[in-house]
Amino acid sequence: MSDHPHPLSEERLARFARHIVLPELGGAGQMALARSHVAIIGLGGIGAPVLQYLAGAGIGRFTLVDDGDVEASNLQRQTIYTTRDIGHGKAVSARRWLANFDDKLSVEIHDKRIDASNAQSLIAGADLVIDGTDNFATRLAVSDACVAARIPLLSAAVGRFQGQVAAFQGHLESEPCYRCFVGDAFDAEDCDTCAEDGILGAMVGWVGTFAAMQAVRILVSNVSSMGDPGWGKLHLMDGMKPGMRPITIAKDPVCRECSGG
């Protein structure tokens, strides 16, 4: 690499200097991030910190999908929105945040609900999809689309003080998908339980920032050594203890999405 001129401009070098000096990331890792296209599905309590840290990391291109509007009750945890955004679309507000933060990053927004009929077109071309939506039906539709399009999926979820972050490459023969993990029982379910259960802002922020870290690890995995991306592993995050523990997800040999079962 050192024989070639660095393709990052002076201004970008300064912006990402603390990344570039990290041996585990380096200039090659930073360039990989700049070339990456990440689709974030769900711009809520998980999607907000994911976007903040991945924009901070200089991901070159985003696709942002959410059909919701910002509500006052979101502001305790959805950290990219402010009082002024109440009543405005989350996708539009997220684009405004991003433009203020770093106008060199490109973004495409979709103010629509993702489902089985449109998921593949919404995620097309992404290097990684990050799902921070709040119900099983959507998560399964996103997972199925990722398997079909052969795009890796990082799935993040929170319920009360329990969080989960898992990385899937279900399109590979030996790797499980999200459907292998949860099964088919939840396809019809649409359960946004945050409203009834309550959620601590910092809890969902912890899960979102960990998902952002895993995303960086995945995106630089071919060019630098930030550790194992942990495909097929689910990190259980316990906010009460607090602590984390990984579990391995088995491929379901009769999974109807990734095994043709």
Using CB under 5 A, list all residues that contact Zn ion.
170, 177, 179-180, 255, 257-258
What CA–CA distance (Å, rounded) separates 28 from 52?
A: 22
Q: Tell me how far apart the alpha carbons of residues 195 and 260 are, in angstroms, rounded to a whole number.
A: 37
d(CA 205, CA 207): 5
Q: Which two tokens stand for residue 58?
A: 């200089």
Nearer to Zn ion, 70 or 154 (CB): 154
> Shortest distance, CB of residue 176 to Zn ion, whole angstroms?
6
Decide whether 81 or 231 has the Cβ nearer to Zn ion: 231
Strand 162-168 vs strand 233-238: parallel, antiparallel, or unpaired? antiparallel
Cβ within 8 Å of residue 206, ≥6 positions away: 163, 237, 239
Closest approach of Cβ 229 to Zn ion, in Å?
A: 18
Neighbour order of strands in the sheet with 153-159: 106-110, 61-65, 37-41, 128-131, 153-159, 162-168, 233-238, 243-248
Closest separation between CB of residue 168 and Zn ion, Å?
A: 8
Question: Which parts of 150-229 fold into alpha helices (H)?
Answer: 178-182, 194-197, 201-219
**Nearest CB to Zn ion, comparing residues 94 and 258:** 258
Residue with nearest beta carbon to Zn ion: 255
Classify burial at 23, counting beta carbons within 10 Å of its beta carbon; exposed 0-12, middle 13-18, buried 19 or more. exposed
In the complex with Zn ion, which residue's Cβ is closer, 182 or 213? 182
Of 134 and 175, the one with the shorter C-beta distance to Zn ion is: 175
Q: State the nearest-atom distance from the C-beta of 75 to Zn ion, in Å.
A: 37
Nearer to Zn ion, 29 or 170 (CB): 170
Least CB distance to Zn ion at residue 31 (A): 33
Considering the complex, what minimum distance in angstroms separates the CB of residue 261 from Zn ion?
8
User: Which of 21/250 has CB closer to Zn ion?
Assistant: 250
CA 140/CA 108 separation, integer angstroms: 23
Q: Name the minimum Å distance from CB 259 to Zn ion.
A: 6
Maximum separation of any 2 CA atoms in the chain, in Å: 58
Instruction: Specify whether the CB–CB gap between 190 and 197 falls below 8 A.
Output: no
